[in-house]
């Protein structure tokens, strides 16, 4: 009976109910036989085992009939596991708790250049250079090695270079290390999955080099053109030539700004950890920088409270001291660089594309209103966890509006020959928002202009 129960339990949850029924079925007659053998009570020869076989038979009937135990072949699960591992194109290495190989699939044999019997019971460091770090020290494992930064999550990820042999170029593999557990959740080893990322890494390197070269040349050449444009504008007397020189200077400045945005895009593509970020301070700082650069009327309101025209706070915004009780109300855990890129580019887009024919100022100059508020969603308005609240940033302007085809290009995720944007500003906002889990909406404003709404989730766990 014990062997049968152990066999059934080894198949995991597939036969858990049947296993319980079989195990319990042996208890009633077993207790009756023990009681008869020990002869307790006033009637020693009393034998209750025949009666106790009734619940025994009922439980067995449930296990073998009503639970449809024999309708499914238990080897299907085991065969699927074996076949899945063997047929996968990614190399897979299974390690015991002592970090020695117990199994590798055919793909791993090819990549590591060793057959399964030879690799068995040997450490993976014999075949991987540099060796892969496997943590989990301090969790009861016997190796006593140093734990890595990803140990608490149960896995780590790094890349290794493996010589392809036959004079071919080495390949780059991303090695994913994870804990291996049995059906009962007991830690029994580790799995190493090697994913070929050679082409991805090569494209990343090519784009990185191309981006930096173009940015460097664009910045230098745009600076030269802009300088000559300023000289021409100051030295010529013809009004038409002055306008041309001014146009050259402005376009050169736009090209230089485009190079800077390309640098921002490159940084957004990097993997960076989120950190506690005060959204109120970030927005206030971005607006102050924009006020210092551009001759524009930029209004700022945080939770409905306006700031002064010179960038100072008319209310508590900007005048509070560290340690105010409501400081944490404006903090979320996101990528600081990504959120800053979203805020700065949303404001810059409203200023850079203004046509000087606005309706909010008497002279038709650029006007932008930035509003930030915290919006509670669901519950009683308290902090009930991630997703219950969001920071909503609304940037309104009185410019000519964003062409519909540019918004469609960003929302569709691709640019075509007939549907392309005039710059990287909207793309920076879209990619930055994706990095922080924010939503971006564009809407027309009456009588003219655009309203951009960015909704940033409030993430706790600071």
Domain ranges of the chain: 2-72, 77-196, 198-270, 272-457
Helix (H, G, I), strand (E, B) or coil at 61: helix
Q: Identify the CA nearest to 343 among candidates 317, 323, 368, 324.
A: 368
pLDDT at 78: 63
pLDDT tens per residue, range 358-383: 889 888 888 999 999 998 865 444 44
User: 333 near 460, Cβ under 8 Å?
Assistant: yes
| Verdict on whether the full-model pTM lies above 0.85 | no
Tokens 């699960």 -> residue: 77
Q: Identify the CA nearest to 428 among candidates 358, 346, 352.
A: 346
Share of residues in the chain with pLDDT > 90 (%): 14
pLDDT at 300: 94
* Architecture label for domain 272-457: 2-Layer Sandwich (3.30)
Distance separating alpha carbons of residues 432 and 81, to the nearest angstrom: 40
- Please tell me if the domain spanning 77-196 has the same topology as the one spanning 272-457: no
Confidence tier at 296 by pLDDT (50, 70, 90): confident
Q: Identify the CA nearest to 128 among candidates 111, 143, 153.
A: 111
Of these ranges, 124-128, 388-392, 411-415, the one predicted with the greatest mean pLDDT is 388-392
Task: Taking residues 429-444, report their average pLDDT.
Answer: 90
pLDDT at 312: 46
**Sign of the CA dihedral running 263, 265, 269, 274:** positive
pLDDT at 334 over 70: yes
Q: Identify the CA nearest to 292 among candidates 221, 344, 363, 242.
A: 344
pLDDT at 287 over 80: yes
Task: Taking residues 88-98, report their average pLDDT.
Answer: 88
Confidence tier at 415 by pLDDT (50, 70, 90): low
pLDDT at 453: 95
Burial of 332 (0-12, 13-18, 19+ CB in 10 A): buried
User: 188 near 181, Cβ under 8 Å?
Assistant: yes
Instruction: Give the residues across from 157 on adjacent strands.
Output: 176
| Bond before 191 cis per omega within 30 degrees | no
Tell me which fold the domain 77-196 belongs to. Beta-Lactamase (3.30.450)
Confidence tier at 255 by pLDDT (50, 70, 90): confident
pLDDT at 344 over 70: yes
Q: Identify the CA nearest to 381 among candidates 458, 277, 315, 433.
A: 458
Q: Which helix (H) or strand (E) holds 440?
A: strand 439-444
Of these ranges, 115-124, 134-143, 171-180, 278-287, the one predicted with the greatest mean pLDDT is 278-287
pLDDT at 150 over 50: no
pLDDT at 394 over 90: yes
pLDDT at 295 over 70: no
Q: Identify the CA nearest to 34 among candidates 26, 24, 25, 42.
A: 26
Instruction: Give the residues across from 368 on adjacent strands.
Output: 298, 397
User: 258 near 424, Cβ under 8 Å?
Assistant: yes
Of these ranges, 222-226, 269-273, 408-412, the one predicted with the greatest mean pLDDT is 222-226
Distance separating alpha carbons of residues 188 and 99, to the nearest angstrom: 11
pLDDT tens per residue, range 316-332: 333 443 445 466 789 99
pLDDT at 317: 36
pLDDT at 124: 87
pLDDT at 374: 92
Distance separating alpha carbons of residues 343 and 345, to the nearest angstrom: 6
Q: Which residues contact 224 (CB under 8 A, 6 or more apart)?
A: none
pLDDT at 294: 65
> Who wins on pLDDT, 217 or 181?
181
Instruction: Give the residues across from 132 on adjacent strands.
Output: none
Q: Give alpha helix (H) positions in 182-326.
A: 198-235, 239-268, 279-293
pLDDT at 60: 84
> Who wins on pLDDT, 267 or 278?
278
pLDDT at 314: 39
């Amino acid at each position: 009976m014990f062997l049968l129960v152990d066999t059934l339990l080894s198949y995991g949850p597939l036969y858990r109910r049947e296993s319980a029924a079989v195990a319990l079925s042996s208890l009633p007659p077993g207790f009756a036989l023990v009681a008869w053998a020990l002869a307790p009570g006033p009637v020693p020869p009393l034998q209750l085992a025949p009666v106790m076989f009734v619940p025994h038979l009922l439980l067995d009937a449930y296990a073998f009939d009503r639970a449809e135990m024999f309708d499914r072949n238990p080897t299907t699960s085991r065969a699927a596991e074996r076949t899945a591992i063997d047929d996968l194109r990614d190399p897979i290495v299974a390690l015991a708790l002592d970090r020695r190989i117990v199994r590798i699939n055919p793909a791993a044999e090819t990549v590591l250049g060793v057959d399964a019997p030879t690799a068995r019971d040997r450490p993976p460091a014999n075949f991987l250079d540099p060796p892969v770090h496997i943590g989990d020290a301090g969790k009861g494992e016997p190796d006593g090695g140093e734990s890595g930064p990803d140990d608490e999550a149960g896995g780590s990820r790094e890349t290794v270079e493996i010589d392809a042999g036959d004079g071919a170029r080495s390949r780059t593999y991303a090695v994913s290390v994870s804990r291996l557990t049995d059906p009962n959740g007991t830690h029994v080893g580790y799995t190493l999955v090697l994913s070929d990322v050679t082409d991805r890494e090569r494209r990343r390197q090519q784009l990185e080099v191309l981006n930096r070269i173009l940015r460097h040349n664009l910045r230098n050449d745009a600076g030269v053109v802009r300088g000559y444009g300023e000289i021409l504008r100051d030295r010529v007397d013809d009004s038409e030539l002055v306008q041309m020189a001014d146009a050259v200077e402005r376009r050169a400045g736009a090209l230089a700004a485009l190079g800077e945005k390309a640098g921002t895009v490159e940084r957004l593509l990097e993997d960076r950890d989120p950190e506690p970020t005060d959204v109120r301070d970030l927005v206030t700082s971005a607006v102050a920088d924009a006020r210092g650069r551009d001759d524009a009327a930029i209004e700022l309101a945080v939770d409905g409270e306006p700031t002064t025209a010179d960038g100072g706070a008319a209310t508590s915004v900007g005048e509070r001291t560290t340690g105010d009780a409501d400081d944490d109300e404006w903090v979320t855990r996101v990528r600081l660089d990504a959120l800053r890129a979203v805020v700065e580019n949303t404001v810059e887009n409203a200023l850079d594309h203004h046509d000087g024919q606005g309706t909010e100022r008497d002279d038709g100059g650029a006007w932008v209103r930035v509003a930030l508020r915290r919006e509670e969603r669901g519950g009683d308005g308290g902090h009930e966890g991630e997703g219950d609240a969001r920071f909503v940033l609304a940037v309104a302007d009185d410019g000519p509006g964003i062409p519909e085809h540019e918004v469609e290009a960003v929302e569709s995720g691709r640019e075509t020959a007939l549907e392309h944007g005039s710059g990287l500003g909207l793309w920076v906002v879209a990619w930055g928002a994706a990095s922080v889990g924010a939503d971006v909406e564009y809407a027309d404003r009456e009588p003219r202009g655009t309203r951009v709404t960015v909704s940033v989730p409030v993430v706790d766990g600071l």
